[in-house]
Structure 1
Amino acid sequence: MSNVNIRRVIENIRSGTNIYTPLVELVVNAIQAIDDKKSDKGLVDIQIIRDGQEDMVDRLQAVDGFIVSDNGIGFNQRNRVSFDTLFTDQKLADGGKGFGRFTCLKYFERMHVRSVFVEGGAFHERKFKMGTDKEIIIDEEVKPSTESHTGAEIEISGIRSVKVSEKGIDVISRILVERLLPYFVDAEKPCPRVVIRDANSTALPVSLNDYLGKENSQIIEMPIKEGNFTLNANGDQKAFSVRVFKFYSPRTTQSKVSLVAHRREVTDVALKNYVPEFAEEFCEPDSAPEAVKGRNFVIKAYVFGDYLNDNVSLERGEFRFQTDTDLLNGISQTQIEEKAAEIAQAAIGAEIAERKQRKQARIEDYVTNQAPWHRRLSAEVDFSSLPMRPSANDIELHLQRKKFEKETDTRIRVAAILSDDQQADLEQRIAEVMSSISDTSRNDLIHYVSMRKCVLDLFSKALDADDDGKHKSEGEVHDIIMQRKKDSDELDFEAHNLWMLDERLNFSEFISSEKPINKGNGDRTDITIYNKRVAFRGENVASNPITIFEFKKPQRTDFANPSSKDDPVAQVIRYVNQIRDGKFKTPKNRDILVNENTPFYGYIVCDTPKKVADWLELEKDFKPMPDGLGWFYWHSKINLYLEVISWTKLLRDAEMRNRIFFKTLGIE
C-alpha cells in the first residue's frame, strides 16, 4: 500500500515536459518490457483516442488520449511493486528515474492499466487505475487468464487544458520518431516494431520503423568524418558523440540539434541559433539518386554522452546544468550545442558554404553601394551571427554595434595609458591607440561625405519638374537645405545642409530658418545666419558678419514684375535695416550686436531666365558673374554684399566642392 501525495507530486513537475512526454514514456516502457521478455518479435501498438468533435476545417477530430499496447513481459508482481513505488530504482540501469508515470496525470485525467503476465507458471490478468490522491494503484483486480500471451495495455485519456495541436497520424508519427529516434537507430539493441493507428479504425497502421533504413525512407543518417568531441568539466574531460540525420518532407520543422539522455530526446534547439544558414530547408542536388532527388529536407543532429545521461532532470524535460555559462558543472548546454552545430555544418558541407557566400555578397553590396563609410570596419567584423538573408537594417545595426565596441575599447585603452605611470611600451601603446582613433575618424568622415552625396542627389531630383511639368515649391527645396520654422537652438549641428550654400556656415553660432528672430510678428527671411569666424571663437560681437538667404520656387519669375510685393532684393535690404536698427533679439533674448561697420551678406537663390537676368541688371544694377549663373551687388551704405545665384549654380558649386571626396571614395 502506497502513501504518496500524488497531487503535490504532479503539481511540482518542472517545466520542460509537454503533451508528448507521457506518450513517449509509455512507448519506452513498452520497449523495455519487450526487452525483458527477450522477444525478437516485439510489437508496440499505439492507438489514438479521438474526442468525437470533428473540426470544420480539416475534418479531423481532436486527440483526447492514447492507448499503448505491447507484447512484453507484463505487470508481474515485481513490475507491479515497482509501479507502486515512488522513485523506484528497478530500471536504473536503463536510465529509469521511477517517476515518468506521474507525467501522465499532469496532462491526462485518467490512466488505466490492463496486463497479462505469468506468475507461478500460470497466466494472470491484472487491472488497475493510477490514483490521484494518496494511493498510486487503485481499483486493482487480479484473476487467472485464459490468454496465452503476455503483454500490457495502458490508456491515458481525458486530456487536460494543454491540447495536442497535431491531429493527423502522419504528423504525430513524425514527432514520435524524432523523439524516439535513438531507439530506432541503436545497432546494439534492435528496436521492436512500433505502429500507430486510430482506435477502432480498420485502416492499416503506420509503422514508425519504416521512417528509416529503407529506400525512399523519410529519415536517413548522414555520414560524417568525425562525430566525437570532448569538453572540459572542471578539469575532467567529458566525451560526446553526434549523429546527423536528414529528415525529408519537413513541413514546418526546422533543422535542430537535440540532446539525448538514455536514448530519449530531452531538448532540441534550432540549428540556426548557432549557424544562421540552417534557417531554411535544403534540397537534394541533381547528383543525388533518383529516389531522393528534388526532395526537401532538414537536418537534425543528436548528441549522446554520459554527461547527458548523468545530468538529465527527473522529468526528462531538461538538464541539471545551465543553458549558458555553468561554473558549477563546468559544461553548459550552449557549449554542447555549439560543438554539435559545427559537426552538422561539416556534414551538410557545400550548401552551407554557398549560403555563407551569398550572405557575404549581400553584405559587400550593402557596404559598397549604401554604406561605404563602413568599408574598412567591415573587413574586420565577423558577420557569422547575422541571419541567412540579412536586411540592410540587420547589417547596419551589426556594424554600428561593432563600431561602438571598438570605440569603447579605444576609450578604455586611452584611459589606461593616461592613468599608468609606467613608461615601458608607452610609445608603442600610444601608436596603437592612435591608429584605432584614426580608423574610427576615417569611417565617420566617409559616412559624412556619403551623406552629402545623398543630399545632393536628392536636391538635384527636387529641382526637376514632375510628370505634370510642375516644379517643387521653394518650401520643399528649402527643407533639404534646412527645415523651415526652426533655429539652431532646435536643431543639432548635423541636422542642416548649409554647406550646400557655403562651407563656412557649418560654424555659425545662431541660425534662424523662416522664423522671426524675436517672438513678435515681424519680417522674416528664409535663413538668417550669425556667423562665427573659423579662426576667431569670440562671443556675439559687432565685427562678425550676418548672412541672409532668400529662396524662390524653381522657375518662378513673378517677383520680377513691377507690381510684385515679393521682391527678394527689397526683402533682404529691409531685413538688414531692421537688424541694424536693433529691432530683433535671438530666441534666448540676446541682443544682436551690430554697428555701422558690421558686414552683411545677402544671397538670393532662384532660377534666372532672361526676364530675371534683365531685371537684375537693368533695374537692380547687379553685375553678372563670369559663369553667367549669378549676379552680385555691393550696397555700400549698409555694408551689404548681395548675390543672386540660380538653383543650378547652387547645385553645381556644391557638387564641385565635394567632387574630390566622392571620387576618392568611389561614389561618383
Structure 2
Amino acid sequence: MPKLIPNIENRVRKLPKPATYSQALQPLFEAVSNALYAIEDRSALGATMAGDVRISITNLTDAGKFRVEIADNGIGLDADRYEAFQTIDTDFKRARGGKGVGRLFWLDAFERIHVESLFNEEGGIKRRCFAFTLRNDEQIVEEDLPNGYVGRQEVGTTIICEGLRGTSYQKAFPKQKATFLRYFSAHFIADFLVGNGASVEVNLDGEPTKYPEAVADLVIGRDLETGDFDISDYGTFSVKGFACDKEASTGLDGNHQLHLLANGRTVESRKVDGLIGLSTIAAGERDDLYFHGCVSSEYLDERVNEGRTAFNLPEDILKEISRKCVEQVRETALADQMVSYNATRRSNYDEFVSRHPIYGFDDPDVQLSRVPFSAQTPEEFATGLVKYQIRRDEERQSTMENVIELLAKGDSVPESFAERLQTAVREVQSSEQLALAQHVVRRKLVLDLMGKLLTRVRERADKQDDFHLEQTLHSFIVPMHVAGHDAAEKRSRAHDLWILDERLAFTRAFSSDKRFDALLKDSENAERSDLIVWDFASGLGVVDPLRDGERVDTSKPLEKVMIVEFKKPGRKHYGPEDQIHFQITKYIDELRGGEIEGFERQRIRIAQDCVFYCYVVADIEGDLKRQLSTWSKSANGQGRFMPLQGDVNGSIEVIQWQDLVNDAWARNEATLYAAKLQRGRPG
C-alpha cells in the first residue's frame, strides 16, 4: 500500500539556522530539557531519588573537537519513550509543549550523537544504546557498548554529542565559558527560580557550576506573586516574581526581567525596566534588587514554535501581554513600593508643568497615563506628551478654520453655530493662556536670575581678576562675539534683549562684541562695541528681509542706530581714558558713513546724519558719578542724559543696572500677575 516516505536529510536542512548564541545553543538546551522532563516522569511514578543532571563540556573553543555529555537519572528510554523517539513529530510530550522535533535539531547541530539509557522493564533494568545519525535510512543504529566502556550504572539517560556541524553553528556557538554560562542561566532561570526539584551541574573543561545554587543564592525575596488574572482576548495568566541580586541580570538586556514560559520552560526573557518604573526594588533589608517574573499561561503554551525558541505571535501582542503582566505586578506584588514611586513621579510632573505650562493642557492623571511609566524627568515627560500637544493644536486649528469657512460661504448660519463658535473661542483662549504662562515663567526666571547675578557681580566689584563675571552678565543678555544677522554664524543667536527694550525681543539685526573690521566694509578698526542694533519695531531703518519672506530695498541708508555699552555693576574706578562721552563718539565716528554687511550679504549704508541712540548700563557711583555730574538727570532722577551736538545726531543715556531690571519687571507686571507669579527676592 503506498505511503509517504519521510526525507529526514531534507527536513533537517530546512530547519532554521542559528544567527545568535541563544539559537545556536537551542539543540543543547533541548537535550537538557528532555533530561529534566525524564526526571519529572520518574518522580511522578513514585521514585524518591533526588533529580540530578550532569552536563560536561570539553573543547568549547574548538568546533571540530567540541564534546558535550548530558547525563540524567530520569525514567530512561523505556519502550513507550523509545517508540516516541523514533517517531518524527510525535505528540508524546504534547501536554508539555513538546513538538517532537527537538532531536532533529541535534542532527542539524552535531556531527556525532550517541545515546545510552537504562530503564526499568518487567524482569529488571534494561540497557539501550544507539548512534543517532543524519541520513534518510536507519538514523537510529543500535549498538553494544564499546570494549572497555563500563557504561551507566543506574537508571537514566546519557547523550553524547560531538563536533559542531555546519558553519552556522560553528560561528554562532559561544566560545567563552562566561558567555555560555550567562546564556545557559538565562534560558533555564525560570526552572531554577521556580524550582523543579532537579539539581544541574555544568562542568566546562573541569570548572563546575551548580544550579539552582548559582541562581538561588541571588534570590533575596520570593513572595512577589500576582495570583491568576485575566487579560482580555488572551485568557488567564499568572506571574511568579522574585527580588534578585543585580548579578542575576548579568548578560541579559536590561535589569528587570519578565520571563515568558511555555509549559514551564523559558522561551524568551524581556527587559521591563521602563514598565516597572522603579530603578530597583526592595526585599528584606535590601533596596538594590532587580525584579524577575516568570509568566505562565495556556495561551503561551499553545503558541510556542516547534523548537521552543520563540512564540508564534506578533510582537505587538507580546508587548501587550508583557505590559498587562507588569501592570498586574505593580498593582499586587509591588503595590507598597509603588506608592512612594507614584508620589515622586506626580511631584516631578507637577514641577515640570509649573516650569513648562504648555504641557499642562489636560488633567494630570490623563497626562501621566500618556507617558511611559518610567518617565520622571522633564525630557521624558515632554517626549511623551509632544505628540498629544501637536494633535491638540491641529484639532484647534481645524475647528477655527471650519468656523471661518462657514462664515465665508455666505450660507445660512445653523442654530448650532453659536455653540461651535464658543467652543472654538474657548480652545483658543486656553491655548493662549498656556502659551502666556510658558512665556511668563521664562521671563520671571530670567529676571530673577538677572537680579541674583547683579548682586554677585557687585559683591566682587573690587576683584580685578573677576572680569569673567562682567562677561557673564553681558552674555546673559545677549551672546558675545555674535552677529545676529549673519546666516553663516554657527553660534546661538538667541538673546534676551527685551530686558533693554521690548521692541528688541525678536531682532536679529545686532552685533554683540564684534570687531568693527568684522562688521563694517573697509574698516581696519579692531575695537569692539558691546552691542550695536540697527533694527527694531519702531523702524530704525531696516526690516529683516527674512522676517516676512520679502526682499527689502537696502539702497536707503540707515537713519537710526542703537549703541549699548555694559559697565561692570559695582565698578567705581574710571580713569581719564574711560570717559563715556569720548568712548561713544569714537564708536559713532567709526559707524557714520560705513557699510554693514547685512542679511544675505546685502550691504546696508549708515547715513552721515544717522541718529544714534546710545545707552550705557552702569552703576552711577565713584568716578562715574563725578564724570556725569554736569549731565541732565533722566525722568526717574536716577539716570543721566546728554544730547549729542555738532556733527553728531543723537543722545547718550546712562541707565542704572537696577533701574534696567525694575523697568523690565514693570513692563511684564500685568502678565506676571495674570500667571499668579511674584517677583523673586533680590539676591
The alignment's TM-score, normalised by the length of structure 1, stands at: 0.76
> Cα–Cα, structure 1 residues 244 and 404, in superposed 2: closer, same or farther, change >3 Å?
same
1:139-178 aligned at under 5 Å gives the runs 140-142=142-144, 150-156=155-161, 161-163=172-174, 175=186, 178=189
Residue aligned with 2:522, SS? coil
State the alpha-carbon separation in 1 of the partners of residues 58 and 571 from structure 2: 78
- In the TM superposition, residue 45 of structure 1 has moved relative to its aligned partner by 1.9
Of 309, 322, 336 in structure 2, the residue corresponding to residue 337 of structure 1 is 322
- In the TM superposition, residue 40 of structure 1 has moved relative to its aligned partner by 1.4
- In the TM superposition, residue 452 of structure 1 has moved relative to its aligned partner by 2.4
Instruction: Report the count of equivalent residues.
Output: 619
1:372 and 1:665 in contact (8 A); partners too: no
Of 606, 630, 634 in structure 1, the residue corresponding to residue 639 of structure 2 is 630
Of 5, 9, 12 in structure 2, the residue corresponding to residue 4 of structure 1 is 9
1:526-541 aligned at under 5 Å gives the runs 526-534=530-538
Residue aligned with 2:367, SS? coil
The residue type paired with residue 584 of structure 1 is E
- In the TM superposition, residue 114 of structure 1 has moved relative to its aligned partner by 0.6
The residue type paired with residue 595 of structure 2 is F
Question: 1:451-496: CA deviations, max 9, x gaps?
Answer: 5236515642455428956432654433332233433313899712
Question: 1:356-410: CA deviations, max 9, x gaps?
Answer: 2122233434555x55665666836216744658345434544555544543443
Instruction: Report the equivalent of 1:407.
Output: 393
State the alpha-carbon separation in 1 of the partners of residues 477 and 220 from structure 2: 63
The residue type paired with residue 367 of structure 2 is V
Question: 1:219-258: CA deviations, max 9, x gaps?
Answer: 745454x6221423xxxxx422213233454634344333
Instruction: Report the equivalent of 1:471.
Output: 466
- In the TM superposition, residue 413 of structure 1 has moved relative to its aligned partner by 4.4
1:487 and 1:515 in contact (8 A); partners too: no
The alignment's TM-score, normalised by the length of structure 2, stands at: 0.74
Of 572, 576, 584 in structure 2, the residue corresponding to residue 572 of structure 1 is 584
Question: 1:49-74: CA deviations, max 9, x gaps?
Answer: 254899xxxxxxxx974523133142
State the alpha-carbon separation in 2 of the partners of residues 346 and 28 from structure 1: 33
> Cα–Cα, structure 1 residues 164 and 244, in superposed 2: closer, same or farther, change >3 Å?
farther
2:479 and 2:493 in contact (8 A); partners too: no
Instruction: Report the equivalent of 2:307.
Output: 315
- In the TM superposition, residue 632 of structure 1 has moved relative to its aligned partner by 0.7
Instruction: Report the equivalent of 2:3.
Output: none
Residue aligned with 1:644, SS? strand
2:642 and 2:652 in contact (8 A); partners too: yes
> Cα–Cα, structure 1 residues 103 and 274, in superposed 2: closer, same or farther, change >3 Å?
farther
Question: 1:527-567: CA deviations, max 9, x gaps?
Answer: 22234445999967789643222334556667641xx2x54
Q: Which moved more, 1:490-499 or 1:600-609?
A: 490-499
> Cα–Cα, structure 1 residues 400 and 52, in superposed 2: closer, same or farther, change >3 Å?
same
> Cα–Cα, structure 1 residues 512 and 15, in superposed 2: closer, same or farther, change >3 Å?
closer
1:4 and 1:136 in contact (8 A); partners too: no
- In the TM superposition, residue 108 of structure 1 has moved relative to its aligned partner by 6.1
1:375-394 aligned at under 5 Å gives the runs 379=364, 381-382=367-368, 385-386=371-372, 388=374, 390-394=376-380
1:377 and 1:443 in contact (8 A); partners too: no
State the alpha-carbon separation in 2 of the partners of residues 219 and 506 from structure 1: 59
Instruction: Report the equivalent of 2:623.
Output: 611
Of 639, 654, 661 in structure 2, the residue corresponding to residue 644 of structure 1 is 654
What stretches of structure 2 of length at least 5 have no aligned partner?
1-5, 165-169, 250-254, 544-553
Instruction: Report the equivalent of 2:546.
Output: none
Q: Which moved more, 1:457-466 or 1:342-351?
A: 457-466
Instruction: Report the equivalent of 1:446.
Output: 440
State the alpha-carbon separation in 2 of the partners of residues 499 and 602 from structure 1: 16
Instruction: Report the equivalent of 1:194.
Output: 198
Residue aligned with 2:368, SS? coil
- In the TM superposition, residue 116 of structure 1 has moved relative to its aligned partner by 2.3
Question: 1:323-361: CA deviations, max 9, x gaps?
Answer: 11xxxxxxx112222221222112221112222212223
The residue type paired with residue 47 of structure 1 is R
Q: Percent identity?
A: 19
State the alpha-carbon separation in 1 of the partners of residues 221 and 499 from structure 2: 65
2:370 and 2:384 in contact (8 A); partners too: no
Q: Which moved more, 1:607-616 or 1:103-112?
A: 103-112
State the alpha-carbon separation in 2 of the partners of residues 321 and 395 from structure 1: 31
Question: 1:302-322: CA deviations, max 9, x gaps?
Answer: 433333233211111111110
Instruction: Report the equivalent of 1:504.
Output: 503
- In the TM superposition, residue 18 of structure 1 has moved relative to its aligned partner by 4.5
Instruction: Report the equivalent of 1:327.
Output: none
Instruction: Report the equivalent of 1:281.
Output: 281
Of 422, 426, 433 in structure 1, the residue corresponding to residue 427 of structure 2 is 433
1:123-138 aligned at under 5 Å gives the runs 123-132=125-134, 137=139
State the alpha-carbon separation in 1 of the partners of residues 138 and 538 from structure 2: 89
- In the TM superposition, residue 12 of structure 1 has moved relative to its aligned partner by 3.3
Query: Aligned pair 1:242/2:231, yes or no?
Result: no
1:569 and 1:604 in contact (8 A); partners too: no
Residue aligned with 2:620, SS? coil
The residue type paired with residue 482 of structure 1 is V
Instruction: Report the equivalent of 1:58.
Output: none
> Cα–Cα, structure 1 residues 419 and 18, in superposed 2: closer, same or farther, change >3 Å?
farther
Question: 1:135-176: CA deviations, max 9, x gaps?
Answer: 684653158999996432223466855338676999899657
Question: 1:18-54: CA deviations, max 9, x gaps?
Answer: 4664454334423544566652116542113254899
State the alpha-carbon separation in 2 of the partners of residues 335 and 97 from structure 1: 26
The residue type paired with residue 502 of structure 2 is E
What is the aligned-residue RMSD (CA, Å)? 4.8
State the alpha-carbon separation in 2 of the partners of residues 297 and 486 from structure 1: 51
1:585-600 aligned at under 5 Å gives the runs 585-587=596-598, 588-592=601-605, 594=607, 599-600=611-612
> Cα–Cα, structure 1 residues 169 and 645, in superposed 2: closer, same or farther, change >3 Å?
closer
The residue type paired with residue 439 of structure 2 is L
Question: 1:482-541: CA deviations, max 9, x gaps?
Answer: 233433313899712222222233365732333435322156633222344459999677
1:30-429 aligned at under 5 Å gives the runs 30-33=35-38, 39-41=45-47, 43-51=50-58, 65-76=68-79, 78-104=80-106, 111-117=113-119, 123-132=125-134, 137=139, 140-142=142-144, 150-156=155-161, 161-163=172-174, 175=186, 178-180=189-191, 184=195, 193-197=197-201, 208=212, 220-222=222-224, 224=226, 227-232=228-233, 238-249=234-245, 251-253=247-249, 254-277=255-278, 279-284=279-284, 298-324=290-316, 332-347=317-332, 348-368=334-354, 371=356, 379=364, 381-382=367-368, 385-386=371-372, 388=374, 390-398=376-384, 400=386, 402-415=388-401, 424=416, 426-429=420-423
> Cα–Cα, structure 1 residues 94 and 23, in superposed 2: closer, same or farther, change >3 Å?
same
Instruction: Report the equivalent of 1:583.
Output: 594
> Cα–Cα, structure 1 residues 273 and 21, in superposed 2: closer, same or farther, change >3 Å?
farther
Residue aligned with 2:450, SS? helix
1:2 and 1:134 in contact (8 A); partners too: yes
> Cα–Cα, structure 1 residues 471 and 609, in superposed 2: closer, same or farther, change >3 Å?
farther
1:481-500 aligned at under 5 Å gives the runs 481-490=477-486, 495-500=494-499
Residue aligned with 1:453, SS? helix
1:539-558 aligned at under 5 Å gives the runs 545-554=560-569
Residue aligned with 2:302, SS? helix
> Cα–Cα, structure 1 residues 519 and 483, in superposed 2: closer, same or farther, change >3 Å?
farther
What stretches of structure 1 of length at least 5 have no aligned partner?
55-62, 185-190, 233-237, 285-292, 325-331
> Cα–Cα, structure 1 residues 378 and 469, in superposed 2: closer, same or farther, change >3 Å?
farther
Instruction: Report the equivalent of 1:187.
Output: none
- In the TM superposition, residue 660 of structure 1 has moved relative to its aligned partner by 6.2
